[in-house]
A and B are shown apart, each in its own frame.
Chain A
Amino acid sequence: AQTVTQSQPEMSVQEAETVTLSCTYDTSENNYYLFWYKQPPSRQMILVIRQEAYKQQNATENRFSVNFQKAAKSFSLKISDSQLGDTAMYFCAFMKPNDYKLSFGAGTTVTVRA
């Protein structure tokens, strides 16, 4: 099984500020997929952003962007212009190609303060 590590259990950010969540992973695969999922208090898991390992360009989705460092096996998520609705638990996840099974990190609870 792949190991996904999120070393920040909790983070707090002021509304409109930027916060960066860290994620590292361990794999011997050359090609794979990485994801960030958001789970608000409602429990609904929502895909925030995905990155294919064979793509060098970092993925961006509106206020969410990633810093993918393949050699370092690092996949951090930056939330810009934080909004109160961003308050949630964020999970980093890894998937091998043609496997479709997700390995999740422990999660980071993000609280956006008004």
Chain B
Amino acid sequence: SAVISQKPSRDICQRGTSLTIQCQVDSQVTMMFWYRQQPGQSLTLIATANQGSEATYESGFVIDKFPISRPNLTFSTLTVSNMSPEDSSIYLCSASPLAGDNNEQFFGPGTRLTVL
């Protein structure tokens, strides 16, 4: 299993500013992902954070808006840039410890972002 922590747990930001969310895993993992969850809604995948290379973004999400870093096998950051009220959401980090047949993903507690 993997225990995932996120910082900050919540923040209130002004429009036009940027926020960087950190995701730390207690063990080395192969795959890390970032999801967005609007209040009361489902989770939408933003991107796959690739270690040592550029993140892979899903349709509708771009690097300029959501730059992602993954410097090693236990840590990733997601930046929400030039924020607007529409970016108000919960942002969740997840990780999959093992490749192969065990495809379980573990999730962080999420970061609740409110943009004024």
Contact = CB atoms under 8 A, between A and B. Distances in A.
Contacts of A102: 33, 43, 45, 94, 105
Contact of B42 (A43, A46, A95, A107): A107
Interface residues of A, number: 22
Contact of B41 (A43, A52, A101, A106): A106
Contact of B103 (A44, A45, A95): A95
Contacts of B112: 43
Q: What range describes how many residues of B lie at the interface?
A: 20 to 34
Interface in B88-110: 90, 92, 94, 96, 101, 103-107, 109-110
A76 to B, nearest CB: 18
Contacts, number: 49
* Residues of B contacting A: mostly: strand
A47 B106 CA distance: 8
A18 B83 CA distance: 44
B107 A45 contact: yes
B48 to A, nearest CB: 7
A43 B110 contact: yes
Given A43-B109, A45-B92, A101 B42 contact: no
